[in-house]
Amino acid sequence: MIAVFERFHRELAKIPDPAAARLCENWKAARVNYSNPPPGVKRSQLALGLEQGLREIPLLLGPFATQHRTVAARAYHAALEAEYPAFLQTERERLAKVLSRGRISGESEFILVRHVIDIGEEGGTDFSTLAQLYRLVDSFEAKGRRGA
């Protein structure tokens, strides 16, 4: 997982956006704790934190300017494809459950669907799927982002 973050942040550093620069600085400061955990912190705890961080990256891209958010989202996806494809498979399975259920049931699913929309708007996702994703997001937001 550290390799995903490293690859992602290398690409992120190339984006001329203040939000990208802040994320890179945050990673630079946090990386030390993941490479050399503080006493009493188990590697399994770090792994859980890194995985949660991977799920939250799409949310952190929200403040980026639109053109930079798209580049960052692609860099995130490319880093996962290269370094942790099993994570992407798990996320595809989560998305399939949301689509079959027909509703978003929590904030983490909202983040997932929003990220798929961001990637899909640049191509690669058919219009009917995007329309379905938009409806799911609209419905979730109409309920105050509390879930169903």
Q: What is the mean pLDDT of residues 132-139?
A: 94
pLDDT per residue as tens digits for the range 14-39: 999 999 999 999 999 999 888 888 88
| Domain layout of the chain by residue ranges | 1-83, 85-148
pLDDT category of residue 148 using cuts at 50, 70 and 90:
very low
Report yes or no on whether pTM surpasses 0.85. no
Model pLDDT, residue 130: 87
Q: Which runs of consecutive H residues, i.e. helices, occur in the chain?
A: 2-12, 18-35, 43-60, 66-83, 85-101, 107-120, 127-142
pLDDT per residue as tens digits for the range 43-97: 888 888 899 899 889 889 889 998 898 899 889 999 999 999 999 999 999 999 9
Q: Which two tokens stand for residue 16?
A: 């001329």
Q: What does each C-alpha distance from 39 to 33, 34, 36, 45, 129 come to in angstroms? A: 10, 12, 9, 12, 47
Q: How buried is residue 138: exposed, middle or buried, by Cβ count under 10 Å (0-12/13-18/19+)?
A: exposed
Q: How many CB atoms lie within 10 A of CB 89?
A: 11
Of the candidates 61, 145, 51, 50, the one whose C-alpha atom is nearest the C-alpha of residue 94 is 51
115 backbone dihedrals φ, ψ, rounded to 5°: -65, -45
